[in-house]
Structure 1
Amino acid sequence: MNGKDSAILSGRVAVGATPAPAGRTASSGTAWRGTLLAGLGVLSFSGSFPATVFAMEGFDPYLVAIGRAVIAAVPALVFLVAARGPLLPPRSHLRSYLVIVAGVVFGFPVFSGLALDAGASTSHAAVVIGLLPAATAACAVLRGGERPKPAFWAACALGAVSITAFTLSRGGGHATGADLLLVGALLSAAVGYTEGGRLARETPGWRVISHALVIAAPLTVPVTVALALTTDVRPTATSLAGFAYAGLISMFLGFIPWYAGLAAGGIARAGQTQLAQPLLTLLWAWLLLDERFGPLTVAAALAVLVCVAMSQRARS
């Protein structure tokens, strides 16, 4: 193993690959590399809602929400042990990791799972969560030290308005209880994404999510065992596959390029790639769940694509 590989595995960022510090503008190449990496993360996350729906066919919603973190903790621990680095992060970063745990290990899975269980369709949930890039950008300003240009905010606002109008039109002009749960999910994710993106500026993305999962394990493991013993468990091939996707892809592997992309391209800028997630989730919902949507959904999808293009041209 050469020195560069050792540096990466030990958690140090190799020379020449250091992300732009907070408040500074990344080079064009670094910014677009961050966008591409974040896009890989979005592609992984786009299957989360359909996978959760499938998993809940055989498992309790709370068991799916918490158990996915236990599934993800297994490869996370393997990665950390293989790298021969510390299993726990520095104490100086502990507060940030607790925020990540609260946001993406507990908050988003629980809120989104309950919303789907409350009757929200996969397509409807995907569009509401489409507001996540705007929330992440706001968190990036408050916590990440980023200062996007006005053109960026215009694109962000246009995307948020388009998605909100679509959601209200589907809900008869008002928000439902499931919508409120989805808002809780997107706020949880925005906070967790921002904090993880900050840490990924100096720590590889795989190590950030791995540390978060290991820190959460003393709580997620016993809760998962208790839920497995006290809830109705009816595993099928489909529900097991959905559960596995939610744990391995949505909760672990997807975060590796996602956090790396946020660090390289800027949390606010790269985070706007998530405007494409509703479109991808709608596609999976149509292919896997046979959910139907009409011209209004297509119009909203096109509006979101325009917003993605505009936000990526607006450099931080």
Structure 2
Amino acid sequence: MSQPIALPATRLSDTTLGLWLGLLGVVVFALTLPMTRLATGTAEAPQLSPWFVTWARAALAGGLSAAYLLVTRSRLPMPAERGPLLLSLAGNAIGYPLLLGWALRHVTASHAAVITALLPLATAAIAAWLLHQRARLGFWLFAGLGSALVVVYSLLRAAQSGNGFALEWADALLVGAVLAASLGYVGGAQVTPTLGAERVISWVCVMALPVTVPGALLTWPDRPIALSAWLALGYVGVFSMWAGFFAWFRGLALGGALRVSQTQLLQPFVSILAAVPLLGESLDLITLGFALAVVATVFMGRRLAAPAPLPPAKP
């Protein structure tokens, strides 16, 4: 009687694991928009101040980061690394959450998802500018097309709300948030090869503590706040500002940045879908359509984001 053949235990490949971790990071970041709106409330029914949300979420992440850096016995940043870390601090720890928080008091999370869908393209453009890379002409064309789509969407939304064909100031805040985050990402990317991805976000949060802790104490709410707003603040502090980066950076390392980074194209759609149960927003075909169009330009633009070949040297 023949013996059964023992099959080897299957192991999740690094590529597959990297894709799943990257997708987890995307979902974590996508929930930032509805969670931030839940924390700040609306102009008609405000909850936590956007200033307090900005300082408190970074202070919470800073405490977790300090514990992580101590446990892992991480070295101090070298002088050459502090400049890029400060740029990341200004963009990711302060600029992006503050501008986003104020904007989300006046527009829906779904609306914000369309504008912030330009973030990957904006990051590539700022990287090309600051790092003096020669991006291809096609990249700049798609970047311009994506920006034009966002402007058209904003004008259309303003007209539908009865404000005529004029950009709302909340859209300017969202564009500022995208630019701030892009600058922060580029600063962090500059020191990631020497400092390590997880330590970059941890040092950013720790370096911000002398500002974020006093800021949180000075802007502490002086009236009753709904439990849902406090829970949302806990989410953006623990996950959006800190733990999400661990999954995202580890996914990029295991699965390859080129492959895993494409999962970021799903982020605006996850934000739009999550806003339905969390905030009671309705699915809007116009918003979904513009989100799809903007993501398409981001996809094509990122494929052309590689530096253009240099012209041949003259003899």
TM-score by length of 2: 0.78
Which residue of the partner structure matches residue 95 of structure 1?
A: 83
Q: Distance in 2 between matches of 1:197 and 1:243?
A: 26
Change (3 A) 1:37 1:200: farther
Q: Which residue of 1 aligns with 2:153?
A: 166
**Is the CA contact 1:48–1:250 (under 8 Å) kept in the aligned structure 2?**
yes
Alpha-carbon offset, residue 153 of structure 1: 4.1
Aligned to 1:131: 118
Aligned CA RMSD, in angstroms, stands at 2.9
Which residue among 220, 224, 233 is the counterpart of 1:234? 224
2:32 aligned with 1:48, yes or no?
A: yes
Give the CA deviation at 1:309: 4.3
Q: Find the residue that maps to 1:89 and give its secondary structure.
A: coil
Q: 1:40 to 1:157 in 2, by over 3 A?
A: farther
1:68 equivalent in structure 2: 57
**For the structure 1 residues 184 and 315, does the alpha-carbon distance in structure 2 shift closer, same or farther, using more than 3 Å as the test?**
closer
CA contact (8 A) 2:66 2:202 kept: yes
CA distance in 2, matches of 1:186, 1:162: 15
Q: 1:82 aligns with which of 59, 71, 75?
A: 71
Letter in 2 for 1:133: P
Q: Work out the CA distance in 1 between the residues paired with 2:131 and 2:249.
A: 13
Q: Distance in 2 between matches of 1:112 and 1:39?
A: 23
CA distance in 1 between counterparts of 2:236 and 2:219 reads: 17
Aligned-pair identity (%): 36
What is the CA deviation profile of residues 283-308 of structure 1, one whole-angstrom value per residue up to 9, with x for unaligned ones?
A: 11122111124322232233244335
The C-alpha deviation readout for 1:32-70, integer Å capped at 9, x for no partner, is: 998876654332211112111222244222111111001
Q: 1:193 deviation in Å?
A: 0.8
- The structure having more radius of gyration, on CA atoms, is 2
SS at 2:282 equivalent: coil
Find the aligned partners of 1:244 and 1:135 in 2 and give their Cα distance: 28
Secondary structure (helix, strand or coil) at the match of 1:292 reads coil
Aligned length: 281
Asked whether 1:140 is paired with 2:112, we answer: no
**Alignment match, 1:225:** 217
Counterpart mapping for 1:1-316 below 5 A: 39-57=23-41, 58-86=47-75, 88-117=76-105, 119-172=106-159, 173-228=165-220, 231-259=221-249, 265=257, 274-311=264-301, 313-314=303-304, 316=306
Whole-angstrom CA distance in 1 between matches of 2:78 and 2:112: 36
- Aligned-partner residue type, residue 122 of structure 1: A
Q: Which runs of 5+ in 2 are unaligned?
A: 1-13, 42-46, 160-164, 307-315
- Pair 1:260–1:139, CA change in 2 (3 A): farther
Q: Is the 8 A contact 2:114 2:290 kept in 1?
A: no
Structure 1: which 5+ runs fail to align? 1-28
CA distance in 2, matches of 1:273, 1:146: 24
Aligned residues of 2:121 and 2:302 also touching (Cα < 8 A): no
After alignment, is 146-155 or 191-200 more displaced? 146-155
Mapped contact 1:69–1:213 kept (Cα < 8 A): yes
Displacement, 1:98?
Answer: 0.9
Q: Is the 8 A contact 2:114 2:291 kept in 1?
A: no
